[in-house]
Structure 1
Amino acid sequence: MVLDLTWRDLARKLADSLEESEDLRSPHWRKALEETPRHLFVPSYYLAQDGIPTPWKLVSEVDGKEWLEPIYTDRTLVTQFEGGGVELASGLRSGIPSSSSTQPSLVIRMLELLEVRETDHVLDLGTGTGYQTALIAHRLAGSQQLVSADIDPALTSAAAGTLARLGHTPQLRAVDAMAEEWGCTFDRIIASCALPRISGSLRSAVREGGRLIANLFPPLNHTLVVLDHQPNGCLEGRFHGDGGSFMTARTGTPPKAGDSKGSAYSSGTTSIPQAAFDSYHFQFLLAAHLPGAELQYGSEGSATMRRLVLPGGEWAEATYNGSKPPTWSEAGGEGVWETTERWWKWFNDHDQPTWDRFGLTITPEGSHVLWFEEPTGADLWALV
C-alpha cells in the first residue's frame, strides 16, 4: 500500500511538470500518466555515472527510492545494451544502449501530436518496455484496437506480461517493423525508434485520413515528422520544431558496410566553421541528403576533426587547427564533401532555417520528397 501511494504521488508530480513544460495538454493523457505505473515496466534499469566512456550503474527494486524516484522524472531509462555490454571491474557496465524506456516528455509530445481517438486502431512501433503501449491502451476503448511491435521477442514477451497485469491485452508482434506486411491498416501509427525512411509496408499501413508520426534520418540527426494520409494517396506533413531522439530501429537485414581503401582521395581548404557541425538544423540537411551518415569527433595534437562516414565506407573530414585555414579531405569518390559544402551554402543563403520550416511528401510509389516552406514551392528535393 505504501508503494502504491508513493508511485501515484510521484506520477501526479510528473504530470504536473509535463503540463508546466506544455508537453502535456490533454486531460486523457494526464489521466493515463497518473494511472499507469511506469515502475512495473522497469523493474531494473541503468543510471549513467561520471566517466568517459560512460559507466552505467544497475538499479532495481531492492534499491528503494534510488530506483523508484528517477522512474517518475522526465528521463530516459536505459534497460539494455548491445550484446549485453561489458561489465567493468567496478561492478558498473559500459556499452551502447539498445533499449530503453523513453523520456516521458517526448512520449507525451508525440502522443499529443498523434491525436489518438478512443475508436482508433493504432500501430505502436518499438514496444521496448511497453510503457508507451500501456499509455496508448489506456486511451483506447479496447485492447483489440492496438498492435505493438518490436524486433526483440524477449522485449515483446516481457511487455505482454506487464501489460496483462494492468488489464491490457493488445496484439504484440516480434517482427522487423520496416519489412512486416501488417495485413491491415491503422488510423494512427507511432514509431518509437528512429527510421532511415518510411518503408513501403509501413506506408501502406496508414489508413486513408490516418496519421503517422516517426523519428527520421538517424544516426546523424533525429527529427520528428508528422505525416497525414492525403486524398491523393501521399503521406505529407511537416517536421516538428521540438525534435526528439530515439535509438535507430534494428532490422533483420542491416546494410553491409563497405570499405573505401584504395578509392579516390581528395583534399582542399574550406570555409565551413567547426560550429556548423554542432547545429542540429544543419545536421538535419546533411542527414537527409547523406543517408546513414554518422558524425565522428576526433583530435590530433592541437587539431580537431569532424568526420562524416557513410555506410558504404566513404568519408569526408574537416580539420581545424588554430588560426590556420580549415582543411578537408575525403575518400570514396562519392562527393561527400561537395554535398556538405553545397548544403552549408544553401543553409546560410536561407538564414539557417530550423527544421520545422521543412516538410516531407511520400508518394504512393514510395518516393521521398523533402520540401522547404511549402510542398508546392520552388525548393523540392528527391531523397535517395
Structure 2
Amino acid sequence: MGAVPSGHWHRAFTETPRHVFVPEYFLSRGGVPTRWQKLTAGDGHNWLWPVYENNTLVTRLQPITEEGDGFFTGVPTSSSTQPSLTARMLEASELAPADEVLDAGTGTGYQAALLLHRLHSSAQLVSADIDPDLTDPARRALASLGHTPEIVTTDIRTHDWGRRFTKVIVTCALSEVTETLRSAVAPGGRLIANLFPPMSGGLAVLDAKEDGRLEGRFHANGGSYMAARGKTPPDDSLAAEVSTEGLPTDVPVDAFDDYHFTFLLAAHLPGAQLQYGTDDDSPATVMRRLVMPNGDWAEGVYVPGSGPYAREGGDTGVWGTVERWWSWYLAHDRPTWDRFGLTVTYEGHALWLDSPENKQSWRLPV
C-alpha cells in the first residue's frame, strides 16, 4: 500500500485480516436518496474484493429502510475507515511498541487490531465507542485473533479515563478537543483527531507539553471521519425566517468546494452544515447554504448571467463571517491545512497560522 511507508505498518496491514471485522457492510449504488446494497460473507467474491481495496465500508445505516428490491436507504452512522486514512493516522502517531494507547472510536475493531500488531501486548490498549452494538462484535473479532484489549462502551468525549496515554487516536470527528481528552494525554504524548465537523476534514496532530497544553499542526493531507454521535444535528425545521432581500456578495460558488477554505470557515462557525441545492423553478440557479445548530442560516445564490447574492435568517451574522474569512483567505494566498496549527488548553482552543507566536491567531468559539 503506497500510503504506508513504514515497514512495520506494511506488515500490520498485510498480516491483519480486515474481512474478520466486516462480516457485512453496505455499498452505495447511487440514487437520491442513496440506495445501499448489503453484502455479507455469503456473497463470496463480491463481498471480499471491496474489503481489500482502498475503500471506506459503511457498516451501519440509521434509520434503515429496506426497499422492495432488496436495497436499503438510510444515513451512514458507522464505517470501516478507508485504509489509506487509517495508515495516515498510524504513521502520524509515531507509535512505539511500548506506548500506552487510547483508540477512541472502536468501530469495527480493525484499527485496534492494527495497533495491537505494533504493541507488545493487549494490556497497552484501551478501545472505546459509544455503541454496544459496535463494541461487542469488535471484542469478539479481536478475540478471534488472540487480542484481548480493554474495550469500553462510553462517550469518548466525556469519559473520565482515570489514567494517561502516550498516544490518543480519535477516529470520529470532534467539534473540539474536550477537557477529558486533553487531560488523557501524558506529557510528551500525542493526540490525533479530525476536527470541526460536519464541514471540515482537518486532521490535527497535537503534542502534549509539560504544562498540559496540546499543540501542533494540521496534517497536510487532511482526513475526514463521521462525526461523534450523541448530539442532535441541525434541524431545518428550526431555521430562522429569511431576510426580505438578498445582498450582493463577492464569495464565488467554488469557494465552498475548496477544502482548505471550508476548514477555516468551519473553525469559526462551529457545528455549521454546508448544504448544496438548486432552485426548483430554475435548476441552473444553485445555492450554497450554511445552517447553524441554533437554526440561523445563510446562503449564497448563484444565478447564471447575473451576480451572486446572499440572504440569511437569524442574527448570528453567518454570511458576514463567510465574507470576512474569504477575504482573509485570498489575502493570505489560500493557505493549506498544514500552515495552520492549534493550541488547546483548559481555557479553550486557539487556531494559528504558521506559528503559535504569530499574530495571526484566533480564539475559537465553541
Task: State the TM-score, normalizing by the size of structure 1.
Answer: 0.91
Listed one character per residue, the Cα deviations across residues 63-96 of structure 1 (whole Å, up to 9, x for unaligned) are 111111111111011110122x111122101111
1:239 to 214, 218, 228: 218
Q: Supply the distance in 2 between the matched residues of 1:46 and 1:261 (Cα, whole angstroms).
A: 36
Call closer, same or farther: CA 1:81–1:117 in 2, change over 3 Å: same
In structure 2, what is the equivalent of residue 359 of structure 1? 341
1:279 to 247, 258, 272: 258
1:128 matched to 2:110? The reply is no
2:120 to 133, 141, 144: 141
Call closer, same or farther: CA 1:55–1:383 in 2, change over 3 Å: same
Q: What secondary structure does 1:308 align onto?
A: strand
In structure 2, what is the equivalent of residue 333 of structure 1? 315
Structure 2 residue identity aligned to 1:382: R
Listed one character per residue, the Cα deviations across residues 259-290 of structure 1 (whole Å, up to 9, x for unaligned) are 34458766311011111111111101110000
In structure 1, what is the equivalent of residue 43 of structure 2? 63
- The Cα shift of 1:217 comes to 0.6
Q: What secondary structure does 1:194 align onto?
A: coil
Q: What secondary structure does 1:95 align onto?
A: strand
In structure 1, what is the equivalent of residue 95 of structure 2? 116
In structure 1, what is the equivalent of residue 79 of structure 2? 100
Call closer, same or farther: CA 1:256–1:179 in 2, change over 3 Å: farther
Alignment of 1:27-106 (within 5 A): 27-83=7-63, 85-106=64-85
Cα pair 2:341 2:354 within 8 Å, conserved: yes
* More divergent stretch after superposition (263-272 vs 132-141): 263-272
Unaligned runs of 5+ in 1: 1-17
Q: What secondary structure does 1:182 align onto?
A: coil
1:376 matched to 2:363? The reply is no
Structure 1 residue identity aligned to 2:337: W
Cα pair 2:290 2:298 within 8 Å, conserved: yes
- The Cα shift of 1:52 comes to 2.6
Call closer, same or farther: CA 1:285–1:265 in 2, change over 3 Å: farther
Alignment of 1:299-314 (within 5 A): 299-300=278-279, 301=282, 302-314=284-296
Q: Supply the distance in 2 between the matched residues of 1:194 and 1:373 (Cα, whole angstroms).
A: 23
Call closer, same or farther: CA 1:371–1:266 in 2, change over 3 Å: farther
Q: What secondary structure does 1:193 align onto?
A: coil
Cα pair 1:124 1:146 within 8 Å, conserved: yes
Q: What secondary structure does 1:297 align onto?
A: strand
Cα pair 2:21 2:109 within 8 Å, conserved: yes
Q: Supply the distance in 1 between the matched residues of 2:265 and 2:13 (Cα, whole angstroms).
A: 37
Unaligned runs of 5+ in 2: none
* More divergent stretch after superposition (287-296 vs 44-53): 44-53
Structure 1 residue identity aligned to 2:143: A
Structure 1 residue identity aligned to 2:321: T
Cα pair 1:270 1:326 within 8 Å, conserved: yes
Cα pair 1:263 1:333 within 8 Å, conserved: no
In structure 2, what is the equivalent of residue 229 of structure 1? 208
Cα pair 1:265 1:332 within 8 Å, conserved: no
Q: Supply the distance in 2 between the matched residues of 1:352 and 1:217 (Cα, whole angstroms).
A: 19
1:209 matched to 2:188? The reply is yes
Task: State the TM-score, normalizing by the size of structure 2.
Answer: 0.96
**Please, what is the CA RMSD of the aligned residues?**
1.5
Q: What secondary structure does 2:138 align onto?
A: helix
Cα pair 2:172 2:226 within 8 Å, conserved: yes
Q: Supply the distance in 2 between the matched residues of 1:162 and 1:44 (Cα, whole angstroms).
A: 13
Cα pair 1:215 1:225 within 8 Å, conserved: yes
Cα pair 1:265 1:333 within 8 Å, conserved: no
Cα pair 2:190 2:206 within 8 Å, conserved: yes
Listed one character per residue, the Cα deviations across residues 331-384 of structure 1 (whole Å, up to 9, x for unaligned) are 111110110000000000011111111000012x24100000111011000001
Call closer, same or farther: CA 1:29–1:207 in 2, change over 3 Å: same
In structure 2, what is the equivalent of residue 13 of structure 1? none
Cα pair 1:215 1:245 within 8 Å, conserved: yes
Q: Supply the distance in 2 between the matched residues of 1:261 and 1:115 (Cα, whole angstroms).
A: 46
Structure 2 residue identity aligned to 1:37: P
Q: Supply the distance in 2 between the matched residues of 1:100 and 1:206 (Cα, whole angstroms).
A: 26
2:269 to 272, 290, 301: 290
Q: Supply the distance in 1 between the matched residues of 2:357 and 2:273 (Cα, whole angstroms).
A: 31
In structure 2, what is the equivalent of residue 268 of structure 1? 247
Call closer, same or farther: CA 1:70–1:256 in 2, change over 3 Å: closer
Q: What secondary structure does 2:204 align onto?
A: strand
Cα pair 1:156 1:173 within 8 Å, conserved: yes
Listed one character per residue, the Cα deviations across residues 140-159 of structure 1 (whole Å, up to 9, x for unaligned) are 11101100000001110100
* More divergent stretch after superposition (51-60 vs 167-176): 51-60
In structure 2, what is the equivalent of residue 15 of structure 1? none
In structure 2, what is the equivalent of residue 10 of structure 1? none
* More divergent stretch after superposition (365-374 vs 255-264): 255-264
* More divergent stretch after superposition (340-349 vs 41-50): 41-50
Q: Supply the distance in 2 between the matched residues of 1:52 and 1:267 (Cα, whole angstroms).
A: 30
